[in-house]
Chain A
C-alpha cells in the first residue's frame, strides 16, 4: 500500500510537472506564434505584390513619359488592382467562414467522441456486472450439481441395501417353507408311526383284555354268588340334611376301570355295583369313567337315553355292567366319549389332541381327526359333534363331512359340555369359572352363570343340565355343589356341607329328583329331593 501511495506520488509529480511545462512553454506561445506566422505570410504576400506593383509603376512612369495613351493602361491597371483586392478580400472572408465551420464541426465531433466514450464505459461496467453474476451462478450450479451427486449416491446405497435385504428375505422365506414342509412331513410320519404302534398295541390289548375279561367274568360270577350284607360301617352312609338336601345314598355305580385313576372317586367292588343297579332298577345312573394313565383306553359311557347301552352291555355278560370291549387307538388318556345318536358309533376325545370315531359293530376306529388341542369333553347332536378343548375353544364338527363347521372361543379352558333335552342349548364350563349357555341356533352366549365360590377344580370339572333344562348343576373346587336356576340365572341352592374335596362331576337322574356328585377324595354323594 505504501508502495502504491509512493508510486502515485512520483508519478503524480511527473504528470503535474509535464502539464506545468506545457502551460509555460507551449500554450503561452502557441497562439501568438501562429498569428505571427500568418501575419508574416501576409506581409510576404504584400511584399510580393508591392514589388510587382512597383515594377509596374516604373513601367507606368516610363509609359507616362512616352505617351499619354498609357493613362488608359494605368486606369485599366488600377481597375485590375481594385478587382484583385476585392477578390482577395472575398477569398479571405470565405476562408474565415470555412475555418469557423470547421472549428464548429471539430467541437461537435469531440462531443460525440466523449459521448461514445461514456457509453463504452457504461457498457464495460455492465459487462463486468454480468460476468460477476455469471460466475456466482456458475458457483451455485456447481454446488447444486455436487448436492445432486451426493443424493444420487445415497439413493444408490439405499437401493443396494434394499436389494440385499430382499435377497436375504427371499432366502429366509425359502428356508421357512422348507422347514414347514419338513415339519409337516415329520408330523405325518410321526402320526403314521403312532397309528402303527397303536394298532400293534390294540392287537396286544385285545388279547390282554380278552384274557382279563375272562378272568373278571369268572370273579364276577363268583362274587355274584355270595350275598353281601350291608353294614353300618360300610362306606355307605345316610346323611341328614341341614341346608341343601343331602341324600345319603350310595355312590353311583361305576363302571369298571382296570386300574384306579388318580383323580376320581374310588371304585366300589363289583358286588356293590351290582346291587346298586338292582336297587335303582332303572337307567339313570351316571357313570363316569376316567382314563387310566396307561395307553389303552376304557370306554366311558354316560347313559343318555341309554337303555340300549346297558342292554348292549348286558349282552356280553350275565349281569349288566360288565366290560364289553376295549377300543384302543388313542395315544393319550381318553377324557371323554359319547355314543352317537344312532348308537352304533362312538366318538371319543383324548389328551392326544385327536377325536376318534369308533364303529361298534366292527369295533375299530373309523376316523381320526386332529383337533389341535386336547379334548376335555364331547357332546353330539344328529349332525354335529361338539368338543371342548384345552385351547379354550369349542369345536363343532360335521359328522358326515368330518370337518370343523364352527369354532366358539371361550375365556378359559373348556372343562365340560352338555346339551339340553332338545339339543337347542349347549352348556359349557370353562376354567375361568364361568358356566355359559350357548344358543345353538344363533351361536351366541345366551346366559352366563357364575357364583362367588364356584371355582373349577380340574380341567374336567363337569356341569350338567337338569333333564327339563331348567337347572344347571356344577361342582366347585371347595366341595360345594351349586345349582343354578336357568330362568333367573341365579344360584338356586348351594350344597356345600358334605364334600371335603373338589367335586369332579355331577349328574342328574332322568326324573330330575336326584343328583349324584363325585369328589376327588373318592367319595360319591347322591342327593335327593331336587
Chain B
C-alpha cells in the first residue's frame, strides 16, 4: 500500500499542464512572435517557471517596451502566487488543451496581481505557506524544529524540480503522533470560480471526537454544502484536486498527506459541471 502512496506522491509532483503562451496582440513587436508551448508543472508557480517564455518573447520586443511580465486567461489575470495547477483547475479545467495563456508586458493590473520582482519573493511566499500549514497541523512545532538549511532544501527541491530532495524534508511535516490519528487541523483552501471570496479556509479536524476519520464529503458538508450532490439531483459541481475528482469518501487525513501541494496546503477547486 505504501508503494501505491509513493506513486500517488510522484504523480502529484510530476503533474504537467500543456500550455500555449501567446503574446498579447497589443504588444508592440518588431516582428510576429510565435506562440511558445511549455509543459508547466502543476505544483510550481508561474513566475518561477516562465523564464524561457520571457526570453522567447523578449526576442521580438524592444527593451523599452518591456515591463513586468504578467499572464491572463480569457480576460482573468492569473495570480502567480497560486499554484499553477490550481489556476488551471479553477479557470480552465474543462476547456480544450493546451491551456492558452496570454502574455502581457504592459499595464500590470496592480489591483488584481502581486508584483514579483525576484525569485526570493516567491521563496518567501512559499515558505510562509508551509509555516502556516504547519501551524495548523502541528502548532508549528515541526517547522520550528527544522534548521535553516532544511527550509532551504524544501525551496531548492521545488525550484529545481527535485522530488526526492523535497520529500526528504517534507515527510517530517507529514508525520503525526499515532494516538492522535492525524494532524491537529487540516490545512485546506476551497476555491470557487465565481465568487467574491478568494477562498474558504477554516479550522477542521481530521478525526471525530469518537475517533472516526472524516472524509472529503464531511469537509464539504461542513464548508461548502452546495458542492455535494444529494440523491436524485443532477451533479452541479465538480470537486477537483490536482485535476482529478477524488471520491467523497476519501479520508481527509490521507488527502492532506498525499494530495497536498508542496506548500502543504490541500487546494480544492469547486467548479460547475460542464453542461455539454
A→B interface (CB under 8 Å): 6-7, 9-11, 13-15, 17-22, 24-26, 28-30, 32-33, 36-37, 40, 43-44
Contacts and interface: CB of A to CB of B under 8 A. Distances in A.
A175 to B, nearest CB: 76
B37 interface: yes
B12 A18 contact: yes
A66 B36 CA distance: 44
A28 B18 contact: yes
B272 interface: no
18 contacts: A7-B251, A13-B247, A14-B259, A17-B244, A18-B243, A18-B244, A19-B11, A21-B243, A22-B14, A22-B16, A24-B97, A25-B15, A26-B16, A26-B18, A26-B39, A29-B37, A37-B37, A44-B59
A17 B97 contact: no
Give the top 7 A-B pairs by smallest Cβ distance, nearest first.
A17-B244, A29-B18, A18-B11, A10-B250, A26-B16, A33-B37, A10-B247
A26 B88 CA distance: 14
A20 B39 CA distance: 17
Interface string B35-65: 0111100000000000000001001000000
Interface size of B as a range = 20 to 34
Interface of B: 1, 4-5, 7-8, 11-12, 14-18, 34, 36-39, 56, 59, 97-98, 242-247, 249-251, 254, 258-259
A28 B17 CA distance: 10
Contacts of A36: 37
Nearest to B245: A17
Main secondary structure of the interface of B (DSSP, over half): mixed
B16 A14 contact: no
A10 B97 contact: no
Main secondary structure of the interface of A (DSSP, over half): helix
A20 to B, nearest CB: 8
A15 B4 contact: yes
Contacts of A33: 18, 37-39
A19 to B, nearest CB: 7
Contacts of A28: 18, 97
Contacts of B98: 29
Given A19-B11, A33-B37, A44-B59, A14 B249 contact: no
Given A13-B247, A29-B97, A18 B38 contact: no
Given A6-B249, A26-B17, 6 more contacts: A7-B251, A18-B244, A24-B97, A33-B38, A37-B37, A40-B56
A25 B244 contact: no
A14 B243 contact: no
Contacts of B1: 11
A17 B244 CA distance: 6
A40 B56 CA distance: 9
A19 B59 CA distance: 37
A10 B249 contact: yes
A44 B58 CA distance: 13
Given A6-B249, A33-B39, A18 B15 contact: yes
